[in-house]
A and B are shown apart, each in its own frame.
Chain A
Amino acid sequence: MKKNFENFNKILITIMFLISCSEETILYDEIENREGTIKTASLPQTNNKLYQSFPSFSSNSKLHFGNVKDSENLFSLVQMTLFSGNIPPVSLVDLLADSIQVDSAMVFFQTSDSLQTDFTLGLYSIIADDDSVFSDSLNYYTKDNFIDYENNSMLLNTLDLSSEIVAPDTTGLDSIKFMFEENSGSLDLLKEYFLDSDTYPARTLMLKDEDGSLNELFTIESNESSNGPKMRVWFKAFVDEETTLDTFITFFSQTDISVFAPPAIEDDDFNYISLNSGSGLRSVIEFDLGIIDSLSRNELFKNSNLVLDVENSNLNEDDEFYIIVSALQDSIQNWGFSTPFVENEEELETISSDANFIISRKIEDNQVRIPIQAFLQGYKNGLFQHNELMLYSAPVNSPFDKVRLNFNAIEVMYVEP
């Protein structure tokens, strides 16, 4: 009896489950018209601003040489360590002691590039009185705030580079070596103008294209890379009358920087949304978001794009260019051109992006479509206060690439469930 009752329960539960999952529907379109469920609009641009921010390199792991795309690479600076990386530590000036005989030295760099054009790379020592002659803020626009590197440098050595000499091997790297030996006289120059860090405490090397003939981009690995610049010195140390130590030590790079003249900011740039990271050229556009005030609480933005057409650019056929669009933390007060390179700090205008909306898209077929529904919805929800968007070149772009864009439209689609 008990078993029968349990079986009855099981059957009852199964029947209950099967019939509980049946559902019917009534047709919606007989109750409420579906017209007007999806709406579209176009948001007009009301203002735009071209401004300059601090220039940025696409990558800090390279030092640049060569003149490309209206940019001129001026020079690179490499500061070496004061002490060698060996134990016990030996300073640069220790190598000039009476008990030390420097036999030779080599300053060497690594490159992953191959060369098409021959050029001469000069290696200079900065002969300044200060021990710190440059900082991260050094660039084309601020170089006047630093010493005149050209007139405070001593040529130590040159190296003729050609496609035969520079050829990365299977590791993808090749070395560029400046040799300093007694018989060439270059070793004395190195000892006098570089190793003597008491007299010239900057211990900074300058590299530059000697005759400015390099019309292609050539890079060497910087201090940020594991294959950064190094200097090796071979010497004999006379420990006592009977003991001589014949050895070498290595000095490493401590910090470095490339200084280049980016594409110039031209009058024509002001007619477009002009972007270039080398010069720090950015744009801000303001558009009319009045439509948002008229929308109901539950209308949702979707498929909304900021559409920009490429007017002109210096991009090559295979070059990719990404544009970043971000919201602003503060509204623009001055719609004229502004630059961070001002003498009076009170004139400095800071334009900061809002991290809650940053998006990037690539130019394709001379057009870029950037989805901004998250910004519009955020503006509607009070997350963003300003109806302006900042546009700038993505860090992955070459600092020499420059584009000019035309505002096409902001196409907006919004729906209400």
Chain B
Amino acid sequence: MLSRKILIIFFISFIFPQNALSGYGFGSSVDNSEAASLGVSNELLPSFKSKVSLSNPSTWHNLLFSYLNTSVNVQNSVFQSDSSTNFSFSSAKLIIPWKQKMAFGVSFEPFLNREVTISDSTFSSFSFNDEDILFSRINNSSGGPSKGQLSFGYKLNEMDSFGTSLNIIFGSSRSSRNLIVDNENHLLQSRDYFSGNMIDLFYSTNRFKIDEKPIFFSVAYSIPLSGIDIENDSYQAFIDLNDNNYHDVNDFPNVGQALLPLTQNFKDELKINSLKFGADYEFSPRKHFQFELLQLSNNGKHSLDNSVYGGHIENKSKLSLSYIKFAQPFSRDRFNFKASMFFQNYGVKNLENINEVGLGLGVGFNFGITGNQIDFGYKYANRTGVFVVEDETLHMFNIGISIGDLWFVKRREI
């Protein structure tokens, strides 16, 4: 019964979340989808357990149990004099280690978020046949593609391991332009269907040491197997006479007299390559210092010009510095503490680049013999150079629950 309620809440929340970056291109990318990594502002380096990052399959063989992780996200965005608070599903992930040699994982998480609404602040007047006609406009987009991920991690030897993830991009986003004339909604709706595949390659090693203390290095490279294609279905504009936001026989022109949707296929609209490099140094027992670099580029064609702002993010660079203190397994010390700061730059095509500076904080609490964990992550970020709104401040709060069990793991392997 509870799960049913939560599903309803998720559905509602998918309708509303937004931040100002959602207006660029096909929407804003979703970073640090699970709570454990939000506090450290990186993805490759251990943040869930010592030597384990939920986002890095090359570390999963270090897990003793299978874990089912679910995260939800609350985001508060402040720009100009407005503020919005939104709740959304963040990620779901199942990781199954096998004989501490390899691991398999399957996950689902949002890929792009396109929730944004822009509207006229006042009504305009138009005179026709000695009548004043009032009108205003609302441009709304929602939804966004999701990412399904199949992952595999393998321990090559005591020093090295690698991992790979096959990312399947699917789902759709909707755009709606509404011209309100004398309280009648004139709707122009379109839908973008996304499909594409990407592969992530991970390599991790702890061959290097400083003062006999190993340094954990990890690198990840993402390449598109095939570019992300978009099928754009554009529906003919109509007057929504019955205000149900749906084109039916009671509208003008009625749905039977309207032109068929115009379907256009765009190949390789998004082609995302990214390279991540990170290092983790355990300078004191269970206390780590981490840094990670990210360089991302989008070489997609972007032929479909339906961006709200008329610009899209071409590349992104990120540097994060983190401190983490892990709990001691099987002891009373059950808390992981994380703190981080990061610098990020978005290169925007046709528009001003965006700079982002932020802080991350996180706490993880271990409970149960199987290492169940609940993670709380908080991120504060300040963006400058955002189109129209200029400055935007984000507060993101993420909660993740990881349940460990012996699913698919033989008891004698522990």
Contacts and interface: CB of A to CB of B under 8 A. Distances in A.
Does B associate with A? yes
Contact of B237 (A21, A24, A34, A416): A416
Nearest to B387: A31
A417 B87 contact: no
A28 B188 contact: no
Interface residues of B, number: 60
B5 A417 contact: no
B144 to A, nearest CB: 16
B257 A34 contact: no
Contacts, number: 150
B237 A298 contact: yes
A200 to B, nearest CB: 57
Nearest to A22: B85
Given A37-B179, A38-B126, A417-B178, A20 B87 contact: yes
A20 B13 contact: yes
Contact of B186 (A40, A356, A382, A415): A415
A83 B124 CA distance: 75
Given A27-B388, A415-B179, 11 more contacts: A9-B2, A20-B12, A23-B86, A26-B389, A29-B121, A31-B387, A32-B139, A38-B181, A378-B257, A415-B181, A417-B137
Nearest to A35: B124
Interface of A is mostly: mixed
A26 B23 contact: yes
B52 interface: no
Interface stretch (B76-84, B103-111, B149-157, B192-200): B76-84
Interface in A336-390: 356, 373-374, 377-378, 381-383
B129 to A, nearest CB: 6
B83 A24 contact: yes
Interface stretch (A89-97, A299-307, A327-335): A299-307
A26 B392 CA distance: 12
A40 B74 CA distance: 47
A25 interface: yes
Closest 6 CB pairs of A and B: A24-B84, A298-B237, A417-B188, A20-B13, A417-B179, A26-B118
Contact of A27 (B83, B121, B239): B121
A24 B74 CA distance: 15
Interface of A: 9, 13, 16-17, 19-32, 34, 37-38, 40, 297-300, 302-303, 305, 356, 373-374, 377-378, 381-383, 411, 413, 415-417
B350 interface: no
B181 A20 contact: no
A31 B184 CA distance: 23
A23 B188 CA distance: 21
A241 to B, nearest CB: 77
A354 B183 CA distance: 31
B184 to A, nearest CB: 8
B236 A298 contact: yes
Nearest to A5: B2
B21 to A, nearest CB: 11
Contact of A297 (B12, B15, B257, B259): B259
A23 B120 contact: no
30 contacts: A13-B6, A16-B13, A16-B87, A17-B9, A19-B85, A20-B86, A21-B16, A22-B16, A22-B85, A24-B117, A26-B20, A28-B120, A31-B118, A31-B308, A31-B309, A31-B387, A32-B139, A34-B137, A38-B181, A40-B128, A298-B237, A299-B237, A300-B186, A303-B133, A305-B129, A373-B252, A378-B253, A381-B236, A381-B259, A413-B128
A342 B286 CA distance: 107
A56 B211 CA distance: 109
Given A34-B137, A38-B133, A300-B186, A26 B257 contact: no
A13 B5 contact: yes
Contacts of B258: 381
Contacts of A20: 9, 12-13, 15-16, 86-87
Given A19-B87, A297-B262, A377 B253 contact: yes
B288 interface: no
Contacts of B12: 17, 20-21
A11 B309 CA distance: 38
B246 to A, nearest CB: 15
A299 B179 CA distance: 11
A27 B257 CA distance: 34
B289 interface: no
Given A297-B236, A415-B179, A24 B253 contact: no
A19 B83 CA distance: 12
A10 to B, nearest CB: 9
A340 to B, nearest CB: 32
Nearest to B238: A300
Most buried by B among A20, A21, A26, A27: A26
A302 B181 contact: yes
A373 B5 CA distance: 46
B242 to A, nearest CB: 16
Interface in B27-65: none
A303 B126 CA distance: 13
Interface in B204-243: 236-239
B18 A23 contact: yes
A21 B74 CA distance: 12
B249 to A, nearest CB: 13
Interface string B101-142: 000000000000000111111101010110001010111000
Contacts of B309: 31
A17 B13 CA distance: 8
Contacts of B308: 31
B324 interface: no
